Structure 1
Amino acid sequence: MDWSANPADKLRIDEVGLEYACHGPAPGDAPTLVLLHEGLGCVAMWRDFPAQLAARTGLGVLVYSRQGYGGSDPVTRPRPLDFQTREALEVLPAILDAAGIRQAILLGHSDGATIAAIHAGSVAGHRIRGVILEAPHFFTEPGGLASITEARAAYESGDLKQKLARYHADPDGAFLGWNDAWLDPGFATWNVAEVIDYIRVPILAIQGRQDQYGTLAQIEEIESRAYCPVDTLILDCRHEPHRECADRVLDEVAEFCSRLLRIEAADVIPA
């Protein structure tokens, strides 16, 4: 794996090529923050946030585009309704293995936060040391589904398709793969909140009060179910705190990571 901001080739996972970028120290030199993007995101849409994270935390940062997004290989539609669980249990472990990551902190946004939570609550082992969940979804909400319906109208008759085409090689695959799944009638009862019960590492949960895709009920679900330490950061913004309140999010993430590293160091000091 080419640990650089502009790798020459895609990362290949089960014959699927995934676009990726790396910042900061390689996995053999420091723990790694692994960034998992939102339902319409990709490597480029994180902008300079990964590089800023590496600079602020001193950790390595791996960011990749899931299949069907950014410059990654296209995806076959329709996506299965359990696509987030499949990403968490099948694809993400293979990526961590391929990158040689032995100590990871998962930072997921929106669908990526859900994938991070499912992985942390389902995959046994000590590789995951903490999870940062930004605007996570554990169950559907009427307001969120209404906003996803509005996004469909913006894609079909507005300029959303043109905007997404700047970032995604296959904008139809990126948008419709996400939108069709969320608006499928069978998805209305989707609920993966049970995974919270099994997370055994510290959690930082971040949410905007004006998030158009989810309410504070998602954060309250974490607080009411988690058996591990939970820090929350509620901000006056919409669905993208890491862009809308970048400095505050960087501060909180850096402090969360620093605290995890201090705990790790204390754990290995001989009595």
Structure 2
Amino acid sequence: MPTIEISRGPVEYTVLEGDSEAAPLVLLHEGLGCIAMWRRFPARLAAATGRRALVFSRHGHGGSGPAPQERTPRSLHEEAHEVLPELLDRLGFRRPVLVGHSEGASIALLHAAGHPVEAVVALAPHLFAEPRTLHGVAAAREAHASGPLAKELAFYHQDPLTVFRRWSGLWLSEAFRDWDIEGDLAGATAPVLLVQGDSDPYGTFAHLDAAERALGGPVQRLELAGCGHAPHLERPDDVVDAVQTFLSTASAPAGQPSRQEIRP
């Protein structure tokens, strides 16, 4: 896997080839994720849309260099406004379509509020520290202590214990209870597709409602029945189809409704 050196250290990445004239896809993983944990989804989405795709692991994740500092309630803002812009600039990815999952979706929305993007696909985004989310993180901590989750993460990360400790430690910290990005998103005027499963142990449709209130541009939403926290893995056909439709209509003529619901 190639790496590129940026100011916070080396980042592993891969680029899937596609139409160089179309806005490229940039995939942003979840809090415990990395390149490999996307599985086949990036390749499927790139093939379906015909676009180039950049997939990378954040510092401390996968095979990227270690994160230089402990996580704080400002960490996702720093990823959105410092790390991601530098990485995109170094790799020559301009005005991308950001596809983020969980924390990656939060980073995508924050980035879109301050930087030019073609569109955003937010899979199971977090806009605030919801009690259900914190309960899910606490349950994950128990699963990690009992062994299975720890073994899974060890397969994907160079330093899996630090990945988990920093993720769970931040979300369950007292300082994070007031974390809320709804007020930071008004500058995001590009089209956004919000995707959420109704059986997600880490969040509810309240995050989509908050995003619709906060975002400054057109919003579409896809609600998936019987789907958990990873729509792109649990319902890949529905998600890929929805993204294709969304990107084909993202530049809809003025006068069309700014709020639309997509049904699988």
User: Taking structure 1 as the reference length, what is the TM-score of the superposition?
Assistant: 0.89
Q: Mapping of 1:12-31 within 5 angstroms?
A: 12-14=5-7, 16-25=9-18, 28-31=20-23
Partners of 1:81 and 1:21 lie apart in 2 by 29
CA contact (8 A) 1:196 1:226 kept: yes
Partners of 1:128 and 1:225 lie apart in 2 by 17
Report the equivalent of 2:41: 49
Moved more, 81-90 or 224-233: 224-233
Alpha-carbon shift at residue 46 of structure 1 (Å): 0.5
Paired residues, number: 252
Partners of 2:237 and 2:117 lie apart in 1 by 25
Identify if the C-alpha distance between structure 1 residues 61 and 145 changes in structure 2 by more than 3 Å, giving closer, same or farther: same
Report the equivalent of 1:198: 187
CA contact (8 A) 1:84 1:111 kept: yes
Is 1:247 the equivalent of 2:240?
Answer: no
Query: Secondary structure of the equivalent of 2:167?
Result: helix
Q: Mapping of 1:135-146 within 5 angstroms?
A: 135-146=124-135
Alpha-carbon shift at residue 81 of structure 1 (Å): 2.2
Deviations 1:134-180 (CA, angstroms, capped at 9, x unpaired): 11111111111011011111112232111100011110121111111
Report the equivalent of 2:118: 129
Report the equivalent of 1:172: 161
Q: Mapping of 1:2-21 within 5 angstroms?
A: 7=1, 9-14=2-7, 16-21=9-14
Query: Secondary structure of the equivalent of 1:238?
Result: coil
Is 1:259 the equivalent of 2:249?
Answer: yes
Cα root mean square deviation, aligned: 1.5
Report the equivalent of 2:200: 211
Partners of 2:215 and 2:71 lie apart in 1 by 30
Look up the equivalent residue of 1:173 and give its one-letter code: T
Partners of 1:199 and 1:15 lie apart in 2 by 26
Unaligned runs of 5+ in 1: 1-6, 264-271
CA contact (8 A) 1:24 1:51 kept: no
Q: Which runs of 4+ in 1 moved over 6 A?
A: none
Alpha-carbon shift at residue 260 of structure 1 (Å): 3.4
Is 1:96 the equivalent of 2:88?
Answer: yes
CA contact (8 A) 1:110 1:134 kept: yes
Partners of 1:80 and 1:108 lie apart in 2 by 20
CA contact (8 A) 1:77 1:173 kept: no
Alpha-carbon shift at residue 24 of structure 1 (Å): 2.1
Which of 108, 117, 123 is the aligned partner of 2:109? 117
Alpha-carbon shift at residue 256 of structure 1 (Å): 1.4
Look up the equivalent residue of 1:153 and give its one-letter code: E
Alpha-carbon shift at residue 78 of structure 1 (Å): 2.6
Alpha-carbon shift at residue 102 of structure 1 (Å): 1.7
Partners of 1:106 and 1:160 lie apart in 2 by 28
Query: Secondary structure of the equivalent of 2:250?
Result: helix
Which of 173, 182, 193 is the aligned partner of 2:171? 182
Is 1:66 the equivalent of 2:55?
Answer: no
Partners of 1:258 and 1:60 lie apart in 2 by 16
CA contact (8 A) 2:200 2:229 kept: yes
Partners of 2:105 and 2:11 lie apart in 1 by 19
CA contact (8 A) 2:127 2:211 kept: no
CA contact (8 A) 2:23 2:118 kept: no
CA contact (8 A) 1:135 1:208 kept: yes
Unaligned runs of 5+ in 2: 254-264
Query: Secondary structure of the equivalent of 1:74?
Result: coil
Report the equivalent of 2:256: none
**Percent identity of paired positions between Structure 1 and Structure 2:** 42
User: Taking structure 2 as the reference length, what is the TM-score of the superposition?
Assistant: 0.91
Look up the equivalent residue of 1:257 and give its one-letter code: L
Alpha-carbon shift at residue 76 of structure 1 (Å): 4.2
